[in-house]
Amino acid sequence: MRQLGLSYAQMQRKLLEDTGIHLSKASISYWLRGIPDPSGSLNRFRPDPSPELSYVIGVALSDGNINVHDYHREILLSVTDRDFASEFSRCLGRVLGRGEPYKVRWSEKRGRWIVQGSSILLHKFLNCNWFDLRKWIEHCGKCESAFLRAFYAAKGQYAARASVSMIRIEKCCCIFKICFGTLTSNRHSCT
Ligand SMILES: [Zn+2]
């Protein structure tokens, strides 16, 4: 965009049009200069539909362990199920164009597997009205099943926890009904 000679305001508008993400001019400036943004990393993220993105959405919507800290824009999953953590790390790596999965580390203190990623763009994307994410979840059969796998993995985590937030579960059920009670025919297909 810089090579096209766009101003910050034009870049801001183009980014919003292309990705639905609104970034401050300051963040764009940091981004262009390659300086780490104080409000979070600007790992590459394009909201192209894919089973991996659908999985990340499924985790973000259904599991409260995704923490997005105000200052770090961190996306963190902390769970007892190692396979769940591994799959999330793989999907997050793909979604953020890393070419390799994020590290899954064991926390002795918490007794949990932890995956930590950081991206202001993905954070903004996941923080939009969750109803709007339906378009990505319903993209194709593979995207739907990836969402479901994340949903059930997260659900397994609830069962393993003593304190269960009813609000969270209600939200999950609501998402589930919206996504799968009224499915329209899918015209797309992820490879
Ligand atoms: Zn798809």
Residues less than 5 Å from ion ligand 1, measured at CB: 49, 139-140, 143, 190
Give pLDDT, residue 151.
79
Residue 50 has pLDDT above 90, yes or no: yes
Give pLDDT, residue 40.
45
11 Cα–ligand 1 center, Å: 28
Give pLDDT, residue 108.
94
Task: Tell me the domains of the chain and their CATH numbers.
Answer: 1-35 (no CATH), 51-181 (3.10.28.10)
pLDDT, tens digit, 9 for 90 and up, residues 77-102: 888 999 999 999 999 999 998 888 99
Q: How confident is the model at residue 65 (pLDDT cuts 50, 70, 90)?
A: low
Question: Taking each helix axis from N to C terminus, what angle separates 82-95 and 141-160, rounded to the nearest 10 degrees?
Answer: 140
Distance (Å) of CA 126 to CA 1, 4, 82, 123, 161: 24, 29, 23, 5, 24
Q: Which amino acid is at 98?
A: R
142 Cα–ligand 1 center, Å: 5
Q: How confident is the model at residue 146 (pLDDT cuts 50, 70, 90)?
A: very high
Give pLDDT, residue 101.
92
Residue 70 has pLDDT above 50, yes or no: yes
